[in-house]
């Protein structure tokens, strides 16, 4: 058909490129992961995640207000638990006066419109750094699901809009959904980490929460018995479909950039929104390369976020959310 079809006609200038652009990015697409710590007026940068902080509750609320003003409408909450509160049961996770529950209440009081999605997993509360309860050297499934259910109910009672189980235990979405319904929390949603891989990209996150598996011969050295093998694709579709059947309102793929094929596969398979977590290691790599002058930070950031959305993400959980929103708002 050449020269009747010259594809470059549609790339001639920025105006025509903008006019026909297929993927559009805005702050509405973002969810911001936040790390909360005990104390007051406390703010400490995480060394491996420049620009990301552990904040006390008062400063967390202040930051949430700034996010809302930028157009970011969802936050994913993680708490740094004091070592003396950790055990093998995770019981602090459903303490109605615990740090997570206080954080949920404070954010909803300060910014009622902000969608609060607290993390549901036992690793911040575990003396072993695992997402579940340990028995005879293994992470046991069903007792962990019971604990996660209690944790989810406490989040709902504190005012969470969604609970976000990130543990990858079998059957936990159904158990949580039933418990929410039976206790009158019909409008509390579930964002399930459906395809969460046993990835090496999580290192900086585990530093932020001091939640890495402990070096102990009596417990698994990693999370490969419950998180997915990164070599698998079809399994991700199966996991997502199961979670939807069990009552998940949103399914998540984690990590992000290295797993865009999985994002598209899951998006094609389910009829619910798909969330993607651009994780700490992906964030840290961009920061490190930009600090050395090897990459243009802002251009790479916006390009990666576009790519995640193009692959099928309806929601992008990203540590870049605030920086990207500032740029996009301009």
Annotated binding site: 239
Based on the residue annotation, tell me whether 238 is a catalytic residue of this protein: no
Q: Of 73, 80, 108, 196, which one is the catalytic site residue?
A: 196
Based on the residue annotation, tell me whether 254 is a catalytic residue of this protein: yes
Q: Regarding beta strands 30-36 and 315-318, do their DSSP bridges make them parallel or antiparallel, or are they unpaired?
A: parallel
Among the listed residues 305, 310, 311, 295, the one whose alpha carbon sits nearest the alpha carbon of residue 328? 305
SS3 37: coil
Residue found under tokens 């389910």: 270
**Could you tell me if residue 228 is left (phi over 0), alpha (psi between -120 and 50 degrees) or otherwise beta?**
beta
Q: Of 80, 86, 254, 287, which one is the catalytic site residue?
A: 254
Q: Please list the residues that pair with 228 across neighbouring strands.
A: 197
SS3 166: coil
Q: Regarding beta strands 43-45 and 53-55, do their DSSP bridges make them parallel or antiparallel, or are they unpaired?
A: antiparallel
CA distance linking residue 183 with residue 175, whole number of Å: 12
**Dihedral of alpha carbons 304, 308, 314, 315, sign:** negative
The burial class, CB within 10 Å (0-12 / 13-18 / 19+), for 273 is middle
Residues that constitute the known binding site for Mg(2+) = 239
Q: Please list the residues that pair with 34 across neighbouring strands.
A: 77
Let me know: does 264 contact 237? Beta carbons within 8 Å.
no
Active-site residue list:
196, 254
């Amino acid at each position: 058909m050449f020269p009747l079809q010259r594809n470059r006609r549609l790339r001639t200038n920025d105006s025509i490129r903008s006019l026909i652009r297929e993927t559009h990015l805005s702050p509405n697409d973002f969810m911001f992961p936040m790390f909360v710590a005990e104390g007051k007026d406390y703010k400490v940068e995480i060394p491996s995640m420049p620009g990301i902080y552990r904040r006390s509750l008062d400063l967390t609320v202040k930051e949430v207000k700034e996010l809302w003003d930028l157009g970011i409408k969802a936050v994913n909450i993680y708490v740094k638990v004091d070592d003396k509160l950790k055990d093998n049961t995770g019981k602090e996770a459903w303490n109605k006066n615990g740090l997570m529950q206080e954080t949920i209440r404070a954010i909803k009081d300060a910014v009622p419109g902000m969608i609060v999605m607290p993390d549901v997993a036992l690793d911040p509360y575990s003396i072993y750094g695992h997402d579940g309860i340990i028995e005879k050297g293994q992470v046991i499934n069903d007792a962990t699901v019971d604990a996660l259910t209690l944790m989810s109910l406490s989040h709902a009672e504190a005012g969470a809009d969604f609970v976000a189980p990130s543990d990858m235990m079998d059957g936990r979405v159904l158990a949580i959904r039933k418990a929410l319904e039976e206790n009158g929390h019909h409008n509390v949603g579930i964002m399930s980490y459906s395809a969460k891989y046993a990835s090496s990209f999580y290192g900086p996150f585990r530093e932020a929460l001091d939640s890495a598996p402990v070096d102990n011969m009596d417990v698994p050295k990693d999370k490969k018995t419950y998180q997915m093998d990164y070599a698998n694709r079809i399994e991700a579709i199966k996991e997502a479909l199961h979670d939807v059947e069990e009552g998940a309102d949103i399914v998540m793929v984690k990590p992000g950039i290295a797993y865009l094929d999985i994002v598209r596969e899951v998006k094609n398979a389910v009829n619910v929104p798909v969330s993607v977590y651009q994780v700490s290691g992906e964030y840290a790599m961009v920061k490190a390369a930009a600090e050395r002058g090897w990459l243009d930070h802002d251009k790479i950031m916006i390009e990666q976020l576009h790519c995640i959305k193009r692959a099928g993400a309806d929601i992008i959980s990203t540590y870049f959310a605030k920086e990207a929103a500032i740029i996009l708002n301009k």
